[in-house]
Amino acid sequence: MDFNGSDTIPGPRAEDHLPQSTTAAAKIVIVGGFGVGKTTMVGSVSEIKPLTTEETMTQAGIGVDDNYGSETKTATTVAMDFGRIRITDEVVLYLFGTPGQERFWFLWEGLFEGALGAVVLVDTRRLEVSFEVMGRLEERGVPFVVAVNTFPDGPRYPLDDLRSALDLAPEIPIVECDARRRASSRDVLMTLMRFLHALALSNGLA
């Protein structure tokens, strides 16, 4: 036991320690516009209190050269909340809630490339903010499912109408959810895993 000011050392609580046998981690990305409920969803299924990792984006005055030599650079901090679920004694799953704008994604190298898949969280009050992110995932070949976070004041569309409005490929699942509820958020993740499993089966046959 270390009594030398151990309470000031940052780190996880003892009950949050992963077993030494944990050999590998996988990740899932939850992506959507501002205020769509990404953090809520991460928090509702995570076994640890959600944490935040951040990255600093420095913008040197683009196209402006009259500030040459001055110290004016604007730094924007972009935060990403994440949580964790222990799967087995060997495997742990991380969930990252990330901003929808692609210009932020490069800040975390390999965020999408290495992810098992993504959940696109949409809000029917601002459906169009998710268009760009879906297009980018399609271009990058990242498998995703769509979860419609139901807000009491949001317009309700039948899922078939949303499917055609979002021009989803027929095999891509779309489900409604309440990101505040653990069971509902878990079901979204299950939907993604089943979809990935089906993809693995069809790829395996090819």
Partner 1 sequence: MTPPQRRRRHPVPEPVPAPPPAPEPVEQEEQEEGEKKNPERLYIITGPDGERAPLDLVTLIVARAEPPSSATPEQTAVLRMCGAPLSVAEVSAYLGLPFSVVSVLLTEMLAAELVQARAPIVRQHLPDRSLLEAVMHGLQRL
Cβ atoms < 10 Å from Cβ of 163: 17
Among 42, 166, 177, 179, binds partner 1 (CB under 8 A): 166
Q: Is 189 helix (H, G, I), strand (E, B) or coil?
A: helix
β-pair partners for 118: 29, 144
8 vs 5: CA distance, rounded Å: 6
**Smallest distance from the beta carbon of 97 to partner 1, in angstroms?**
12
Among 104, 131, 173, 174, binds partner 1 (CB under 8 A): 131
**Smallest distance from the beta carbon of 115 to partner 1, in angstroms?**
6
Q: Is 180 in the site for partner 1 (CB under 8 A)?
A: no
Q: Name which of 35 and 87 has its Cβ closer to partner 1.
A: 87
112 vs 34: CA distance, rounded Å: 18
What would the x/- binding string for partner 1 be over residues 54 to 73, using CB under 8 A?
xxx--------------x--
Among 117, 121, 179, 184, binds partner 1 (CB under 8 A): 117
114 vs 104: CA distance, rounded Å: 16
Q: Name which of 19 and 35 has its Cβ closer to partner 1.
A: 19
With beta carbons less than 8 A apart as the criterion, state whether 146 and 153 touch: no
177 vs 25: CA distance, rounded Å: 26
Which one of the spans 34-42, 53-61, 173-181 is the region binding partner 1 (CB under 8 A)?
53-61
Q: Is 140 in the site for partner 1 (CB under 8 A)?
A: yes
Which one of the spans 34-42, 60-68, 173-181, 187-195 is the region binding partner 1 (CB under 8 A)?
187-195
**Could you tell me the two tokens for 28?**
């899932």
Among 107, 151, 173, 175, binds partner 1 (CB under 8 A): 107
Which one of the spans 30-38, 59-67, 79-87, 173-181 is the region binding partner 1 (CB under 8 A)?
79-87
**Smallest distance from the beta carbon of 173 to partner 1, in angstroms?**
14
Beta strands in the chain (DSSP E): 24-32, 51-60, 73-86, 91-99, 117-122, 144-149, 174-177
Alpha helices in 128-173, H assignment, sequence order: 131-140, 159-165
User: How many residues touch partner 1 (CB under 8 A)?
Assistant: 78
Q: Is 181 in the site for partner 1 (CB under 8 A)?
A: no
